[in-house]
Amino acid sequence: MKPYTPVPDLLTSRRILITGAGDGIGRAAALACAQHGASVILLGRTAKKLEKVYDEIERQGWPQPAILPLDLSTATPSHYAQVAQTIEQEFGGLDGLLHNAADAGTLTPLEHYTPEMWFRLMQVNLNAAWLLTRACLPLLHKSADASIVFTTADVGRQGRAYWGAYGVSCFGLEGLMQILADECAAEKRIRVNSLDPGVVRTGMRSRLYPGEDRDALPAPETIMPAYLYLLGPDSRGVNGQALNARDFM
């Protein structure tokens, strides 16, 4: 890939659902998408964080967003069906789905994992992504040009010690992406890809590496060209690819 510079109106009239939109990469993606013309639907566990992102978008005069609070660790299939129903009622369809929400747990040997932690991480990181995608696919099929992006990590492409359920769930997301991309290939109305954001200054990174100099890390905003490319029309024809955000900078 080569450095990507999105045009100002790249996402005009597009409706994009973003999970984990309250902070970190999700917040940056929501602001970037709104800035480039999208109507963003902010999904996350903490309503107050989502409200701050909502207010920032409103202050900037960008398209009015929407808030959908949802705890992915406890949400049931009926909750996801309600999310899709609400989006259809309020927006009439969906043009983009960005899976960003994740829980990394702790860096622990597999033998020390508790079943409760394992099941929680699988639920938040992998099962929730499938359930939400499944619920939203009928809306995405209505779009003439839809994109699904799974945020993953390098530990989901090459296994590394101590990354446990998070690493395994990222491997699962890569597999989910590949299968769904292959299923959507013939229709060509929905493209499906994964993106590794690399090392970025986020709360999850700080929890995993408490001794790291947080200020020395790149801000989430620096990797937004990759997300904008995948969610916008310039990525038409790109399907089933495991990409790295650094390649767009």
Question: Which residues are the active-site residues?
Answer: 166
Query: What residue type is assigned to position 176 of the chain?
Result: L
Three-class DSSP labels, the chain: CCCCCCCCCCCCCCEEEEECCCCHHHHHHHHHHHHCCCEEEEEECCHHHHHHHHHHHHHHCCCCCEEEECCCCCCCHHHHHHHHHHHHHHHCCCCEEEECCCCCCCCCCHHHCCHHHHHHHHHHHHHHHHHHHHHHHHHHHCCCCEEEEEECCHHHCCCCCCCHHHHHHHHHHHHHHHHHHHHHCCCCCEEEEEEECCCCCCHHHHHHCCCCCHHHCCCHHHHHHHHHHHHCHHHCCCCCCEEEHHHHC
